[in-house]
Chains A and B, each alone.
Chain A
Amino acid sequence: MNGGRDAQGGSPGRVGPRPVAGRLDVARLLACVLARELRDGEIVAFGLHAELLLAAALLAQRLHAPNLVIRHGLRVERGADLQPAAWTAERASRSHETIEYLESHDAILDVANPASPLRFCDVFLVGGLQIDREGSTNLIGIKGPDGRMSVRGPGSIGTTSIGTLARHLILFSGDHTARRFVERVDYVSVPGWRRRAAAGLEGGPSLCVTPLAVFEFQDGSMRLRSVHAHASEEDVRRRTGFPLPAGAVPRTPPPTAAERAALEVVDPFDRLAAVDLRPDGGEA
Chain B
Amino acid sequence: MSRAERVLALSEAAALARDGMTIGLSGFSYQNPPMEMVRALIRRRLKDLTLVSGPTAGIETDLLIGAGCVRRVVTAGVVFERLAPIAPAFRRAAERGEIEVWECDECIWHLALKAAAWGMPHILWRGGVGSSLPELNPDLREVEEDGRRYLRVPPVQPDIVFLHAAEADPFGNVRVAREAYLGRSFSERALSLACRGPVVATVERLVDPDDVTAAPERTLLRGALVVEAPGGAHPGGVSGRYVPDLEHCREYVEAGEARRRGDPVPFQRYLERYVYGAEGPDDYLRAIGPDRLERLASRPA
Residues B183 and A191 in contact, CB atoms below 8 Å apart: no
Residues A91 and B296 in contact, CB atoms below 8 Å apart: yes
Docked complex Cα distance between A195 and B75 (Å):
24
List the B side residues contacting A164 at CB < 8 Å: 126-131
A160-B131 contact, Cβ under 8 Å, with A96-B179, A150-B95, A152-B90: yes
Determine if A158 is an interface residue (Cβ-Cβ < 8 Å): yes
Residues A189 and B126 in contact, CB atoms below 8 Å apart: no
Determine if B149 is an interface residue (Cβ-Cβ < 8 Å): yes
Residue-wise, chain A 163-184 has the 8 Å CB interface mask toward B (1 for contact) of 0110000000000000000000
Residue-wise, chain A 80-108 has the 8 Å CB interface mask toward B (1 for contact) of 00001111111111111101001111101
Residues A198 and B86 in contact, CB atoms below 8 Å apart: no
A154-B149 contact, Cβ under 8 Å, with A89-B243, A95-B181: no
Determine if B82 is an interface residue (Cβ-Cβ < 8 Å): yes
List the B side residues contacting A29 at CB < 8 Å: none
Residues A152 and B91 in contact, CB atoms below 8 Å apart: yes
Determine if A157 is an interface residue (Cβ-Cβ < 8 Å): yes
Docked complex Cα distance between A27 and B69 (Å):
41
| Stretch of B4-12, B24-32, B40-48 on the interface side | B24-32
Closest B residue, CB atoms, query A92:
B299
Closest B residue, CB atoms, query A187:
B132
Partner of B181, one of A48, A102, A274: A102
Determine if A115 is an interface residue (Cβ-Cβ < 8 Å): no
Determine if B190 is an interface residue (Cβ-Cβ < 8 Å): yes
Residues A96 and B300 in contact, CB atoms below 8 Å apart: yes
Considering the complex, which residues of chain A in the window 133-162 have a beta carbon less than 8 Å from any beta carbon of chain B? 138-141, 149-162
Residues B79 and A201 in contact, CB atoms below 8 Å apart: no
List the B side residues contacting A112 at CB < 8 Å: 126-127
Residues A188 and B243 in contact, CB atoms below 8 Å apart: no
Determine if B288 is an interface residue (Cβ-Cβ < 8 Å): no
List the A side residues contacting B133 at CB < 8 Å: 156, 160
Partner of B130, one of A89, A95, A138, A195: A195
Residues A156 and B126 in contact, CB atoms below 8 Å apart: no
Determine if B219 is an interface residue (Cβ-Cβ < 8 Å): no
Considering the complex, which residues of chain B in the window 234-287 have a beta carbon less than 8 Å from any beta carbon of chain A? 237, 239, 242-244, 246
Residue-wise, chain B 52-88 has the 8 Å CB interface mask toward A (1 for contact) of 0001100000000000000000011111011001110
Residues B77 and A75 in contact, CB atoms below 8 Å apart: no
Considering the complex, which residues of chain A in the window 109-123 have a beta carbon less than 8 Å from any beta carbon of chain B? 109, 111-112
Partner of B81, one of A49, A151, A198: A49
Q: Which of A75, A138, A153, A276 has the most CB of B within 10 A?
A: A153
Partner of B183, one of A93, A104, A157: A104
Closest A residue, CB atoms, query B133:
A160
Residues A140 and B136 in contact, CB atoms below 8 Å apart: yes
Partner of A154, one of B82, B85, B108: B85
Determine if A74 is an interface residue (Cβ-Cβ < 8 Å): yes
Considering the complex, which residues of chain A in the window 187-227 have a beta carbon less than 8 Å from any beta carbon of chain B? 187-191, 195-196, 198-201
Determine if B125 is an interface residue (Cβ-Cβ < 8 Å): yes
Docked complex Cα distance between A99 and B30 (Å):
21
Docked complex Cα distance between A157 and B130 (Å):
16
| Stretch of B14-22, B99-107, B163-171, B208-216 on the interface side | B99-107
List the A side residues contacting B297 at CB < 8 Å: 91
Determine if B94 is an interface residue (Cβ-Cβ < 8 Å): yes
A104-B181 contact, Cβ under 8 Å, with A89-B244, A158-B107, A188-B132: no
Closest B residue, CB atoms, query A138:
B132
Docked complex Cα distance between A91 and B110 (Å):
30
Having A87-B182, A189-B131, one finds 12 other A-B pairs with CB under 8 Å, namely: A87-B237, A91-B297, A92-B301, A105-B185, A105-B187, A106-B190, A111-B107, A140-B132, A155-B76, A157-B76, A196-B130, A201-B129
Shortest 5 CB-CB contacts between residues of A and residues of B: A161-B127, A74-B183, A155-B77, A199-B130, A161-B107
List, sorted by A's number, 14 A–B pairs whose CB atoms are closer than 8 Å.
Answer: A86-B182, A87-B31, A92-B300, A106-B114, A153-B86, A155-B78, A157-B79, A158-B55, A158-B106, A160-B107, A160-B108, A164-B131, A165-B126, A276-B82
Write the residues of chain A forming the contact surface with B, with a CB cutoff of 8 angstroms: 47-49, 73-75, 84-97, 99, 102-106, 108-109, 111-112, 138-141, 149-162, 164-165, 187-191, 195-196, 198-201, 274, 276
Write the residues of chain B forming the contact surface with A, with a CB cutoff of 8 angstroms: 28-31, 55-56, 75-79, 81-82, 85-87, 90-91, 94-95, 101, 103-108, 110-111, 114, 125-133, 136, 148-149, 179, 181-187, 189-190, 237, 239, 242-244, 246, 296-301
